Chains A and B, each alone.
Chain A
Amino acid sequence: MKPFEQLVTEHGAMVLRVCRAVLGPDEAEDAWSETFLAALKAYPELSEAANTEAWLVTIAHRKAIDVTRKRARNPLPMEELPERPSADPQETDQDLWNAVKALPDRQREAIAFHYLAGLPHREVAAITGSTPEAVRRAASDGIKNLRRAYLVPATPSVAPVPVPVGSVPASTSISVPKGEAR
């Protein structure tokens, strides 16, 4: 059997991507830790033939459900994602995160497990209790929705504001109105 460390090295980044996409960046780190801790516990009993990626994603999926339920039980006022100054290079990412967050669960999971974890539709269906066809549809709808919510508003990009010659060169960061995320 491989030392568990090897699983962490090989799949740690993948599991973090999945947790982020499903839960958002803030709760992802806790979910990542809980996923690997649960995996470590169960690891000696894992069959040698098992697909470790699918196994880890299955655990991550359960942990994400736990987190979501906990959140529903203790409805802490969820903070809206902070507005950032538009010069922040993270802003486009933030828009994408918001768009992912707004997706229906099935679509978000299909994107996370199929596109980010690289699992085939069949495996994703087994994990989420769905059918491969439904996963295929959810993944493609999810991509369509993301493209609409995230890419389209960004495309009619604000024309560069001409800076009058001799004006104060104080800040080149021009406040750009954020596209509605919907």
Chain B
Amino acid sequence: MSTVEPESSALLAPLRDVDPAALLALQTRLAAAAAEAGLLDLSYTTLDTPIGRLLLAATDQGLVRVAFDRENHDAVLEQLADKISPRILHSAVRLEAAVRQLDEYFAGRRRVFELPLDWRLAKGFRREVLAHLPEIAYGQTESYAQVAAAAGNPKAVRAVGTACGTNPLPVVVPCHRVVRSDGSFGGYLGGTEAKQILLTLEAAA
């Protein structure tokens, strides 16, 4: 900021007034225009849930990222800007179905997600592991070893752990249903407590 003498500052003060509501309306309009012009590479929104605030991001192909609060949403957005595109706007465009289905899931009224998913953030074997996860039924669990076998590589138990730990679409792609062979929860990107909440929710429904 350059130095501005206070006198002109006072004179120009009325020109500085910007109504936050007007600005918000402009931002909403920008997101719509950007989507229409094919310039909205990523839109995101946040959703409050029993496991904390989730960030949901989508490309024009589908939901591409679900992030926990503890991942730091700002950091996640920067990663998305680097990996996919910096053309990111806060906008519920494309995320209405995801928000609705997650609300239903957390209310115990939905067992299966029916959403277009963009898998571009998961590659190779990790992606194969993640692709298997929706086959674990709601309310059921599998061990890391079972998942490794199902993904075609029984020895890759640790790789399954990594795949789950880097799942770009947690909750929707249910890595929380993968637990240790001894029945203990195992790790979870969203925290052990979140994993417990999800498994308890599914067991109760």
Listed in ascending order, the chain A residues whose CB lies under 8 Å from chain B are: 1-6, 8, 12-13, 16-17, 20-21, 29, 32-33, 36-37, 40-41, 43-44, 92-93, 96, 100, 111, 114-116, 118-121, 143, 146-147, 150-151
Contacts and interface: CB of A to CB of B under 8 A. Distances in A.
Q: Ordered nearest first, which 7 A-B pairs have the shortest CB separation?
A: A3-B88, A1-B86, A13-B18, A3-B77, A118-B1, A93-B14, A3-B81
11 contacts: A3-B42, A5-B89, A6-B77, A8-B30, A12-B26, A32-B26, A37-B39, A40-B34, A40-B39, A115-B12, A151-B11
Given A5-B89, A17-B18, 13 more contacts: A1-B86, A3-B78, A4-B88, A16-B23, A16-B26, A29-B22, A33-B29, A40-B40, A41-B39, A43-B86, A44-B86, A119-B2, A143-B11
A109 to B, nearest CB: 13
A34 to B, nearest CB: 9
Nearest to B40: A40
A143 B15 CA distance: 13
Contacts of A3: 42, 77-78, 80-81, 86, 88
Contacts of B44: 5
A4 B11 contact: no
Interface of B: 1-2, 4, 8-9, 11-12, 14-18, 22-23, 26-27, 29-30, 33-34, 37, 39-40, 42, 44, 77-78, 80-82, 85-90
Contact of B30 (A17, A36, A100, A120): A36
Given A4-B87, A143-B11, A33 B18 contact: no
Chain B interface, >50% SS class:
helix
Of A29, A37, A40, A120, most B-chain CB atoms within 10 Å: A40
A92 B39 contact: no
Given A4-B88, A4-B89, A41-B39, A17 B81 contact: no
Contacts of A4: 86-89
Given A3-B78, A16-B23, A115 B8 contact: yes
A114 B82 CA distance: 33
B87 A44 contact: yes
Given A4-B88, A5-B77, A150-B11, A37 B27 contact: no
Contacts of B39: 37, 40-41
Contacts of A41: 37, 39
Nearest to A92: B14
Given A3-B88, A4-B89, A37-B33, A12 B27 contact: yes
A67 B11 CA distance: 27
A82 B26 CA distance: 24
A165 B90 CA distance: 58
Contacts of A100: 15
Contacts of B29: 33
A17 B88 contact: no
Contact of B15 (A20, A43, A121, A151): A20
A114 B2 contact: yes
A116 B13 CA distance: 9
A119 B1 CA distance: 7
Contact of B87 (A40, A114, A121): A40
Nearest to B20: A13
B87 A43 contact: yes
Contacts of B27: 8, 12
B56 to A, nearest CB: 14
